[in-house]
Amino acid sequence: MLNFVDALVILASLAAVIGIALRAARKKAGGAEYFLAGRDLAWPMVGMSLFASNISAEHVIGMTGDGYRIGLVAGGYEWIGAWDLIILATLFAPLYLRSKIFTIPEFLERRFGWSLRALLSANLLLINVF
């Protein structure tokens, strides 16, 4: 159970993150500037961003547990992810860059309509939250 100090630390952290986000949002000119850094990042920064996006508690705890439970084969999951990123970079990224889109749901909306974008967005939110 949380005590008063725990709740205070959580609320202060949340307020700080919201404050930083609002301040950063006011400095940026538009969606591309805010979400894509003005499309002006060098490839090492994009690569580090992809890497950081893929690291989570699942990797730190889950992959370690799987490695203990089933052995080295658990690392195959990461090798497949590396190949997926190579395919993304060579086949799909040029298409997305030419389309000037922010997200894959936005690409699907342009191709198939807004209903598919809404469905995919809701699906991704549910998967990531629950």
Domain spans of the chain, in order of start: 1-40, 49-99, 100-130
Give the predicted TM-score (pTM) of the model: 0.50
Q: What is the pLDDT of residue 28?
A: 65
Predicted confidence at residue 2, as pLDDT, reads 81
Answer yes or no: is pLDDT of 61 > 90: no
Surface-to-core class of residue 121, CB atoms within 10 Å of its CB (0-12 exposed, 13-18 middle, 19+ buried)? middle
The answer to whether 106 and 117 have CB atoms below 8 angstroms apart is yes
Average of pLDDT values for 36-65?
79
Q: Please spell the DSSP secondary structure of the chain, one letter per residue.
A: ---HHHHHHHHHHHHHHHHHHHHHHHHSSSHHHHHHGGG---HHHHHHHHHHHH-SHIIIIIIHHHHHHH-GGGGHHHHHHHHHHHHIIIIIHHHHHHHT-SSHHHHHHHHH-HHHHHHHHHHHHHHHH-
Question: Rounded to 5 degrees, what are φ and ψ at 101?
Answer: -105, 165
- Whether 74 shows a pLDDT value over 70: the answer reads yes
